[in-house]
Structure 1
Amino acid sequence: MLSACASAPAPNEQLRLTEQALSQAQALGVSAEQSASLALAEKKLALAQTAMQGTDFKQARVYAEQAELDARLAEAEHLTQKSQMQLAELSNAINRLRKQLGGLQ
């Protein structure tokens, strides 16, 4: 039993990276209410923290890694949605300009 604990060190750095990824997504304005990916990341981080308390470091690392990826996915989804909205606005502006130019001819 002791050898299992020795082979899996506490994933403190992974937890820090995971918390940083969550913070970055939240800084962009992503919330768990808006994003299923961020909600899942928060749940997995809580599971990782619980596993850490129980010294199940291997499981804690798995949950923390998954949580980090989910948080990064939430961030990417948010940025993609924002880009698509900007693209739609730009497309509308171009169409308005085309109509105005068409009226000048």
Structure 2
Amino acid sequence: MNRFLLVLLALGLTACASDPAPNEQLRLTEQALAQAKALGVDGEQSESLRLAEDKFTRAQAALQDGDNKEARLLAEQAELDARLAEAEHLNGKGREQLVELNHRISRLRQQLGAM
């Protein structure tokens, strides 16, 4: 029985040790956050960006604690949240432009109707 527990413990430790540090994923996440901010996404107005920043911070902490699997998972989620924040921002900008174009079209129609 003790031998079985030792084998399980050894396997568990090997599984934890075999998960490499997610340095590349952290770099990708950092780039996604920077890109969202460069587009003008505001962390105070975007819940998705706030979530991304929080998960990125937690991923860095997990990496410091040696929990590479958790760090990778959080970094992946943070990257997706940052990309969602970017998409939401661009979608909002697109809607604003559409409203402005519709106003211009209405003004042109009124001007043409007055002729």
Tell me which interval the TM-score lies in, with the shorter structure as reference length: over 0.9
1:3 aligns with 2:5: no
* Segments of 4+ moved more than 3 angstroms: none
The answer to whether residue 57 in structure 2 is matched with residue 46 in structure 1 is yes
Structure 2, unpaired ranges of 5+: 1-11
Alignment of 1:12-91 (within 5 A): 12-91=23-102
Offset of 1:5 from its aligned partner? 3.2
RMSD of aligned Cα (Å): 0.9
**Deviations 1:3-39 (CA, angstroms, capped at 9, x unpaired):** 1233210000000000000000000011210100000
Q: Matched residues in 2 for 1:69 and 1:46: separation?
A: 15
Q: State the TM-score, normalized to the length of structure 1.
A: 0.96
Instruction: Give the count of matched residue pairs.
Output: 104
5+ residue gaps, structure 1: none
- Bigger Cα Rg: 2
- 2:105 corresponds to which of 72, 89, 94: 94
The residue that corresponds to 2:6 in the other structure is: none
